[in-house]
Structure 1
Amino acid sequence: MKILFRQCLRGSIYLLLSSFALPIHAQVSVSGLITDSSNMPIPGVNILLKNTTTGTTTNFEGRFKLEASPSDTLVVSYIGFKTQELAVREQVFFTINLTPEANTLAAVLINAGYYTTTDRERTGSIAKVTAKEIELQPVVSPLQALQGRMAGVEVISNSTLPGAAPTIRIRGQNSLRPNGNYPLYIIDGVPFNSTPLETNSTLSFTGIDPLSTINPADIKSIEVLKDADATAIYGSRGANGVVLITTKKGTTGETTVQARIRSGFSEAPNRIDLLKTSEYLKIRQKAFENDGIVPNENNAYDLLVWNQNRNTDWQEKFFGKQAGFTQANLSISGGSSTTRYRVNGSYLKQGSIYPGSASFQKATGSVQLNHLSKDNKFSLNMAITYGADKNHTVGIGSLIPQVFSLAPNAPKIFNEDGSLHWEEWSEVGKENPFQGYLNTSDIKIHNTLANLNLSYRLMKGFKLSSNFGYTHLNSNELTKRPKESYNPQYKEFIDHESAHLQGESTSWIIEPQLSYQENIEKLGIKALIGATLQEQLNLQTGVTGTGYATRSMIGNLAAATNLSRGLHQEANYRYMAFFSRLGLDWDKKYFINLTGRRDGSSRFGPDKRFANFGAIGAAWIFTEEVWVIKKIPWLSFGKLRGSYGITGSDQIGDYGYLDSYVATVGPGGLYPTQLANPNYSWEVNKKLEAAVQLGFFKDRLQLNVSYYKNRSSNQLVGYSLPSITGFTSVQANLPATVENRGWEIEAYAKVINTDDWKWQSTLNFTLPKNELVNYPNIEQSPYANSYRVGEPLNIALLYQYEGINPKTGYYQITDVNDDGRLDYEDRVVVKDRNSKFYGGWQNTLQYKNFDIQFLLQFAKKEGEFALFDAGRVGALRQEDYIGLEGDKFQTISTQLDAIRGYSNLIQTSLPYTDASYIRLKSFALSYSIPNTPLQKIGIKNCKLFVQGQNLFTLSNYRGMDPEMAKGQGTAFGALRTFTTGIEVKF
């Protein structure tokens, strides 16, 4: 019995000990990766063991690690995302994808440059466009995808030619110099020089956009940093705003292949009603009747020499073609819990709406690799992007304005063999309007961008990292000008010619950083210190060759009889900085963000190279207060934020502080080309902002209102010198101050949210004001004829129109100073060319497998009346001139006084008219084929889509394009584009 009792006792003790020992021996190390819906890691996520206080948070890479047992359950929670519960069991690694709540602000992750934040916690002004919005647009440059989508960001296309550089202004124009207003571009942490490339081609007006080598399908998001809090950490480089481009990364799981192809065409968006031949001839005949002059073949060749029955639609001849558009993209991505990869390739080809064989082709490739060690301490992120553009243009640079000055019965342009027709033009002393058409330019651009980021977790909260970047851009342009492009009667003075232009830009950057992140009870701390070392080398050479024996030899410099070196420039730019950031929050309710930077630039003299910049931003989420929650239950979110800081700018040429000389033609001599001034220094930009963010009804309705005031002073401009010095100006700082202020309103609404129907709507509205508030002695400066104190920078200085002189019947202009002539001293009328307000209204509608997205872009502005040629003897506009004369227009005449009256009139405010518009900027309709039948053949997803760009414009403006309502209203920068396509994922 005792033996049995002892055995039972031993067994009981053994079982009891085993029951206690089981949890101890079953404890395992559980780790994982937590990402958002875009597979981006989320730092700061809480992971708790259910019904315990044991837990941890994710690190900077979204990784976590803790001890658990198979019977435990992980509770994963983060503000703005749905909480998930996951049983541990035998699983030791978790890949967790958090689903955002219904568009809560905390779920919107934002790249702020050197750190990541959320829309809920940000203290600065940051706008964001995602891949979903970018992919829907058939555009060449990523900047074109931003049009109408961001408050405070204005993008103008400038040209219909693909590859042309658009203009981007972030909260207005800060510098008096046009080339001093470029924002800073950062692609995956690497600065990118986006200054338009010089060219001899028809793109010379805008320059070549180096961003055209970037594939929009590679982009995950574009963030634009606007205020001091957001930009000050970039110091002098962020004075005009910062554009952050983040490319797509690989995903965990099995390998996925995604292919997208689209094809379509582009065309001119509008036509102007011009006079038919009979109407045009009637006006011409009336002019001779008024003058009492008998027409002859010299003064009236259009009435007596040219065919009276010929009626040519010159708009159709000049830009009536449809430009083909084809784009294909293929990506492969996948990876494990520790290593992710993505490989992407694309091809784009776009034709031209103009005569000839002009075309633009682009091929890009990219590789992304992301690796994290098993202990979650070491990480490696690498990105390499390569892009190659080939732009073939013909000599059409000056053709567009001419189409609106040609008589409808003018002679033909080409002979039957395709050569230019000259006889009928030359016999009346005119040039063929397609003169130079046979000229061609072939531009090849190769761009490589590489980024490597290494990081290591030293201890709890601390991370040491370093960012290495390298860019290399090479451009090669060959322009051919055969003498057949020009009037053969001048053949003794013209010859075959070629112009060669080569450019190369190489830069590298190293940025070591130490970051710290910790939560101490209710206090959250995020700190960062780092340094920047950057060097950029720019080379540019140009050569012109003439005297080629035949047209086929043009471009082969060995066959040229004469060579002239037109350009040789070499510049080495060096930049270094130390930067820091301290972000504090208390109970996720009160936030403060301090940033500072000390910059050094080689563009200033030895004693002026360094400057300090910094900013402070603060925010208060007042809906976290108990008294707000109780009294205003329908207010789901409320935040007040503000910022103030100082940034700078060094956007001037290199070596401007030094004397420069060139060799004389004779031996042993030098002559100066530039005066030294080692005392000029940084432009200074002071930025102030106050804003409120509100969310209503569980954030289904959101409203953001911001007021900003930026002042840019210490302007880097040319200081005028007396002619006795031998120079017109010297580089200096002038006490001129430019102010940009305004209001930005952003609204979001989830209008419908059911199982079958969804409708989301976003509105952005900007009310800007630009002003030159101070410029001492502007009258003695080189800008006396360009700017006025108290007025915007983008103005037109115009004459004052008095009306029609009753004696002469011609237009009369006021001679303000009564000196008997009209000059800039008589230009007393100021016309603001800026938009009074602008914005966009974006909508997304979903019904089951159908998806519709469209964007309406709008602006309130004035522009020059399209073809305001009332009283000009060669008037071509359909409207207003059928009656020939009246109180509004001067007497139609061929006399010099009438021509002079018209020339002066178009430099008054009379030709200006309302150019406000609402444009259907983009439209996309897609249908996702149900997965069930596709999965049988290995297709995970298939989508069919139709897309349109610049489909129609509502405007009272009677020119080609109200967005570019300038000159004679004949310019246009946005083509109407239609594409259809398919996207398949395997």
Structure 2
Amino acid sequence: MKNNYSRLKWVALIILGGILFFLSKAATAATSNTAFFQQQLISGIVSDQNGLSIPGVTITVKNSTRGVVTNLDGEYEITAPANGTLVFSYMGFKTFEVTIDGRSEINIQLEEDIASLGEVKINAGYYNTTERERTGNIAKVSGEEIERQPIINPLEALQGRMAGVEIEQRSGISGNAPTIRIRGQNSLRTGSSNNGNLPLYIIDGVPVNSSPLVGSDLSGGTGIDPLNTLNLSNIESIEVLKDADATAIYGSRGANGVVLISTKTGKSFEQKTQVEARLYSGVGEVSNKIKLLNTPQYLQLRNQAFENDGVVPDQTNAYDLLLWDNDRYTDWQEELLGGTAAITDLNLAVSGGNETTSFRIGGSYHEEGTVFPGDFKYHKVTGGLSLNHKSKDEKLNLNLSMNYGVDNNNLFGSDSYISEALSLPPNAPQLYNDDGSLNWADLTWDNPLSNLQNSSINQVNNLISSLSISYEFLNGLTFKTNAGYTNLYRNQKSITKKESYRPDIRDRREHLSSERINKRKSWIIEPQLTYSVHIGRGNLDALIGMTFQESENDNLRISGEGYVSESLIGNLEAAEAVDVNEYLNIRYKYTALFARLAYNWDQKYFLNLTGRRDGSSRFGPNKRFANFGALGAAWIFSEEPIFRDHISFLSFGKLRGSYGTTGSDQIPDYGYLDAYEATPGPGGLYPTQLTNPNFSWEENKKLEASLQLGFLEDRINLGVSWYRNRSSNQLVGFPLPSTTGFSSIQANLPAMVQNTGWEVEFSSLNISTKDFSWRTSFNFTLPETKLVEFDNISQTSYQNVYRVGYPLSIALLYNYNGIDPETGLYQVQDINGDGNFSYEDRTVIEELGRQYYGGISNNLSYKNFSLQFLWQFVKQNGYKGYFAPPGNVSNQPQNVISGIENGTLQQASQNFTAFNSYFFASTSEHFISDASFLRLKTLGFSYDLTEKILQNWKLDGFRFFLNAQNLITITDYEGINPENPGVETLPSLRTITGGLQINF
């Protein structure tokens, strides 16, 4: 296989070199051709039906990419053939064509178009389509919506805006990777290092490894997302491909959906160079806190525990009562999490060009503090370049895109810091002594600020580059080659000082350091041939291409200890002992042949057929190739005479459906081989992995049906989709008996996961006048993920996690039997009566996770003022926030005292029996609660200066804006973070920012 890939790579490179040589010759011949068309200068003014000039209207020469835009007075000038046709287009107005017919002045009035679905362009990956003509399920968020949000990761901008797309920000730590699921969980592999549910990320046509970079600091739970290094202001749009018709052309890579990110490009307009500057700053704070006991309430609970246990308090078991100040009160959430995170963002971009060449170059700087004490910050610096060129005969096109980002996240290494802010007793000692040193209170506690003595610095450098070259040989026949290269380098340095330990154990500790280095490099080449031709009353589009892709991942983890001086920590040469904890060098090779055939008849009937044959180095020699494909169809029935002539209020109606298969190879590399490691002694080897050359691809069969309706000239739009995805042949580590010496072997399990659901999308233009407009958008998703098949599940360890016929997001729990009237403690039922509590006694099944979710947004504008806001809603169940049993040295929610009094919580106690009762009850239905929430996710207000002021200041645009994120969260959940129930993580920050944008 290795030799085959090498041959393919060299053949591809030779072909690409020949193509480039030929295209350079063709371009030279094309640009020297003087017999194009006789050109002339045309000028004019574009206005609306009220006679008001319209700035920003796009005027292009038909059947070309040459174009200009109108200035602030609606004026334009363009060079075009004397017998050519001009096309005038502007969002909100109907596209208008006019023949030049030798005229030098052409003035145009555009007619308002409430909502033209045909003008909404959609990136479908290997081809483009429109909202009107698409046969697949593709959701889109514009760059303007993304730019308005004060966030770091572009995925956060999708929360509440897309049906079928779940985005969970499980931690409010800056730079933490959000969790994304497109139409549910397809794979049983959910681990952070082997997650089979990650979608495919494509940036400007280049695939990017979507796996988060795991770490050992506060970001360790979710890791760092590689998309963090993107400049949000440089994103043109994000499209999410969901169904088989949209994703099958990506084959195995699109099994879990595809996220397409397009960056901004320059414009080939004959006008001056444009500069865009954007600046905002603001603050963030914790969006949610728990109401905890104050000092008198806490002391009452502690004393009650000693009384119930019949134990006399002493300085060992009751240091908080006898040694600490009982009149002291500290709100530890405010003390440890109550800071404000300062936010600053600067962005500058320059764009311009002429009729054949355009460019855009820009950069940004983002800085964000934390809510913790100390100087911990997140920095991001980005740079981007887009260069586009076409020959004068418009047959040759070249597009180059480069995006480079560096982010630096300075945190501290502690997984317990958040939980300490919730559990520290309110009368705990002060943090510092009078001399400014940390207060250890006679060794009666672990000072929480000791965590801040240890640092963890993450730096990520990420380059994403792409090159696209196309040449039209014949009318409608185009050869195109896409090439891309990515290079990500991550270095995490963690330092643990002896001073972070309590003085009584400090002498037994050493200064420690660890360093984690990740390198991800990849290249891709995709030669393609496209053909478009009119046949009868329709149009046929054909595409065929190949993919050659290779990636290399290096992972290195080194630790050092025994530094003689604090200043030397991290310098491995100064360490007494250095250990290489992990070193991996992994190569992944992938090749594919893909094709698409699309036909539309009379702009009413659409058929789209896609297919792909994939080859992956992650499978054995006999299983490396697999075939995937899909069929999509659509019927715009509103174009039929019976609807067009007799149902006037229906302006648009489309039925759409698709069926197809995609696959997945998201498993560890080299899993089909035997693996060995050297024994500690000399000259020996021992096996670490069993061979299985026969496991093969997962298969995901996707079915969808959809109805789209538009009413009252598309002022009201409604879309309803039903989907069913079935993922079978599950690739997992098959558990083995311990007698084999191995815990698992890579294999296909006879299990099938089914995702079904309903998606509703609604939009309306409620009011549209000269000065005021109001638009509303709504999306709703009702999902269900179910394990429909799993032969012999009882013979695997999965019997303790899943049940056939139930959702994957279930909890297997004990049956709660209430409070024992004699002991006052929780009790759960021993089902089999053997006197022990095990998984055999967990007969209660509770569904966790999201039952439905969505969002509703509104956009209002009055003259130069605009207001936008989005409410996000989630219906879900989850575990209650975890606390120690009441009566221990730990704070509690305020309702714990009333709960004990009314018999819903067990009595205060700190003995082993009480702890045991509490532990078993915490895995019963008694600790499941409603974790639903309604959140004002975004709120934005802006004002644009009037044209008169802009003209006086000689500016193209000047905007003031205020934006807020996570402003209000309404929930009955008792924990700190309803977005990640049952886990003590920092909730998303509430941020308020203000700034300005200048165009000149």
Q: Which residue of 2 aligns with 1:916?
A: 932
**Matched AA of 2:207:** P
Relative to structure 1, is the Cα distance of residues 153 and 581 closer, same or farther in structure 2, using a 3 angstrom cutoff? same
Contact kept in structure 2, 1:483 and 1:496, CA below 8 Å:
yes
- C-alpha contact (below 8 Å) 1:384/1:451 kept by paired residues: yes
**Does structure 2 retain, via aligned residues, the 8 Å contact 1:28–1:92?**
no
| Residues 376/93 of structure 1: CA separation in 2 closer, same or farther (3 Å cut) | farther
**Per-residue deviation at 1:270?**
1.5
Q: Look up the equivalent residue of 2:961 and give its one-letter code.
A: F
Q: Which moved more, 1:300-309 or 1:434-443?
A: 434-443
Q: 1:164 is matched by which residue type in structure 2?
A: N
Question: Where do residues 440-839 of structure 1 align in structure 2 (5 Å cutoff)?
Answer: 440-839=455-854
Displacement of 1:537: 0.4
- Check conservation: 1:646, 1:687, Cα contact below 8 A: yes
Question: Quick one: which of 398, 401, 406 aligns to 2:424?
Answer: 406
- The residue type paired with residue 249 of structure 1 is T
CA spacing shift, 1:604–1:617, aligned 2, 3 Å: same
User: Is the contact made by 1:364 and 1:387 (CA closer than 8 Å) also made in structure 2?
Assistant: yes
In the alignment, the residues of structure 2 paired with residue 96 and residue 739 of structure 1 have an alpha-carbon distance, to the nearest angstrom, of 55
Q: 2:911 pairs with 882, 886, 895, which one?
A: 895
Q: Contact 1:964–1:972 at 8 Å: present in 2 too?
A: no
Can you list the C-alpha shifts for 1:95-153, whole angstroms capped at 9, x where unaligned?
Answer: 99999832221111100000000010000000000011001100000111111100000
- Distance (Å, rounded) in 1 between the aligned partners of 2:274 and 2:639: 42
Q: Distance in 1 between matches of 2:842 and 2:536?
A: 67
| Cα distance change, pair 75–439 in 1 and its aligned pair in 2 (3 A) | closer
CA deviations over 1:54-98 (Å, ceiling 9, x no partner): xxx5589999xxx99858875779999624244636689999999
Residues 71 and 432 (structure 1), Cα distance of their counterparts in 2 relative to 1, 3 Å cut: closer
* 1:356 alignment partner, one of 374, 377, 388: 374
Change over 3 Å in CA distance of 1:832–1:417 after alignment to 2: farther
Show the counterpart of 2:23.
Answer: none
Q: How much has 1:231 moved relative to structure 2?
A: 0.1
2-structure distance, mates of 1:418, 1:732? 59
List per-residue Cα deviations over 1:481-514 (Å, max 9, x = no partner): 1111112222343101110111111100000000
Q: Report if aligned partners of 1:396, 1:434 keep a CA contact under 8 Å in 2.
A: no
2:289 corresponds to which residue?
A: 271
Superposition deviation, residue 822 in structure 1: 1.0
2:990 matches 1:980: no
CA contact (8 A) 1:321 1:352 kept: yes
Contact 2:57 2:90 in 1 (8 A): no
Residue type at the aligned position of 1:983:
Q
Match of 1:950 among 952, 963, 966: 966
Alpha-carbon displacement from aligned partner over 1:633-668 (angstroms, at most 9, x marks no partner): 110000000000000000011111111111112222
Contact 1:773–1:789 (CA<8 Å) still a contact in 2? yes
What SS class does the counterpart of residue 453 from structure 2 fall into? Answer: coil
Among 176, 184, 193, the alignment partner of 2:188 is 176
Residues in 2 aligned to 1:856 and 1:102: alpha-carbon distance in whole angstroms? 25
Query: What TM-score comes out, normalization by structure 1 length?
Result: 0.92
Please give the secondary structure, in 2, of the residue aligned with 1:861.
strand
Paired positions, count: 942
Change (3 A) 1:834 1:882: closer
Distance 1:626 1:896, change over 3 A: same
Aligned counterparts, 1:359-378, within 5 A: 359-378=377-396
Query: Which aligned pairs between 1:839-918 and structure 2 lie closer than 5 A?
Result: 839-866=854-881, 871-873=886-888, 874=890, 876-882=892-898, 884-918=900-934
Contact 2:57/2:89 (8 A) holds in 1: no
1:473/1:604 Cα in 2 relative to 1: closer, same or farther (>3 Å)? same
- Residue in structure 2 matched with residue 16 of structure 1 by the alignment: none
- The CA distance in 2 between the partners of 1:38 and 1:681, in whole Å, is 57
Rounded Cα–Cα distance in structure 2 between residues aligned with 1:727 and 1:821 = 29
User: 1:876 offset after TM fit, Å?
Assistant: 1.8
**Shift of residue 895 of structure 1?**
2.9
Q: Residues 97 and 872 of structure 1: is their aligned pair in 2 closer, same or farther, counting only changes over 3 Å?
A: farther
For residues 964 and 640 of structure 1, what CA distance do their matches in structure 2 show? Answer: 38
Contact 2:138 2:240 in 1 (8 A): yes
Distance 1:598 1:288, change over 3 A: same
Cα separation, partners in 2 of 1:864 and 1:93, compared to 1, 3 Å = farther
Match of 1:10? none
Q: Which amino acid aligns with 2:206?
A: V
C-alpha spacing 1:103/1:145, structure 2 compared with 1 (3 Å): same
Task: Identify which of 158, 164, 173 aligns with 1:146.
Answer: 158
- Residue 226 (structure 2) pairs with residue 215 (structure 1): no
2:38 — aligned with what?
28
Partners of 2:726 and 2:566 in 1: CA distance: 55
Asked if the contact 2:67/2:355 (under 8 Å) is kept, the reply is: no
1:386 aligned to 399, 404, 423, which one?
404
User: Of the candidates 332, 341, 346, which is equivalent to residue 328 of structure 1?
Assistant: 346
User: How far apart are 1:867 and its partner, in Å?
Assistant: 5.2
Structure 1 CA distance, aligned partners of 2:906 and 2:90?
A: 72
- The DSSP-based 3-state class of the residue aligned with 1:223 is strand
Q: 1:119 aligned to 2:137?
A: no
Task: Give 5+ residue unaligned stretches, structure 1.
Answer: 1-24, 48-56
d(CA) in 1 for partners of 2:341, 2:56: 37
Once residues 679 and 199 of structure 1 are traced to their aligned partners in structure 2, the CA distance between those partners, rounded to angstroms, is 34
1:232 to 223, 248, 272: 248
CA gap of 1:404–1:839, structure 2 versus 1, over 3 A, is: same
Contact 1:695–1:701 (Cα < 8 Å) also in 2: yes
Q: CA distance change for structure 1 residues 453 and 806 in 2, over 3 Å: closer, same or farther?
A: same
Identity of aligned residues (%): 50
Q: Does the residue aligned with 1:900 lie in a helix, a strand or coil?
A: helix
Q: Deviations over 1:332-366 (max 9, x none)?
A: 01111111110110000000011222110000000
Secondary structure of 2:249's partner? helix
Deviation at 1:959, TM superposition (A): 2.5
The whole-number CA distance in structure 2 between the counterparts of 1:609 and 1:97 is 60
Deviation at 1:824?
1.6
Q: Distance in 1 between matches of 2:230 and 2:381?
A: 9
Q: Partners of 1:248 and 1:924 in 2: how far apart?
A: 23
825 and 595 in structure 1: CA distance in 2 versus 1, 3 angstrom threshold: same
Superposed counterparts of 1:285-304, under 5 Å = 285-304=303-322
Give the secondary-structure state (helix, strand or coil) at the position aligned to 1:964: coil
For the residues of structure 2 that align with 1:772 and 1:385, how far apart are their CA atoms? 41
Q: Deviations over 1:903-926 (max 9, x none)?
A: 221211112222222110000000
Aligned residue number for residue 957 of structure 2: 941
Q: Which residue of the partner structure matches residue 185 of structure 1?
A: 201
Task: Return the alpha-carbon distance in structure 1 between the equivalents of residues 57 and 461 of structure 2.
Answer: 30
Measured after TM superposition, the shift of residue 204 of structure 1 is 1.2
Residues 494 and 101 from structure 1, CA distance in 2 versus in 1: closer, same or farther, beyond 3 angstroms? same
- Counterpart amino acid of 2:947? N
The aligned residue for residue 7 of structure 1 is none
2:798 match: secondary structure? coil
Quote how far apart the aligned CAs of 1:27 are.
7.8
Could you say what secondary structure the match of 2:920 adopts? helix
1:38: Cα distance to partner? 13
- Relative to structure 1, the CA distance from residue 981 to residue 720 in structure 2 (aligned partners, 3 Å threshold; closer, same or farther) is same
Moved more, 881-890 or 568-577: 881-890
Query: 1: CA distance between counterparts of 2:676 and 2:434?
Result: 54
Give yes or no for the alignment of 1:163 onto 2:175: yes
SS in 2 for 1:960: coil
- TM-score norm. by structure 2 comes to 0.90
Distance 2:385 2:102 in 1: 35
Distance of aligned partners of 1:78 and 1:550 in 2 relative to their CA distance in 1, 3 Å threshold = closer
Q: Secondary structure at the match of 1:881?
A: helix
Deviations 1:777-818 (A, max 9, x none): 212213222222122222222111011122322211111111
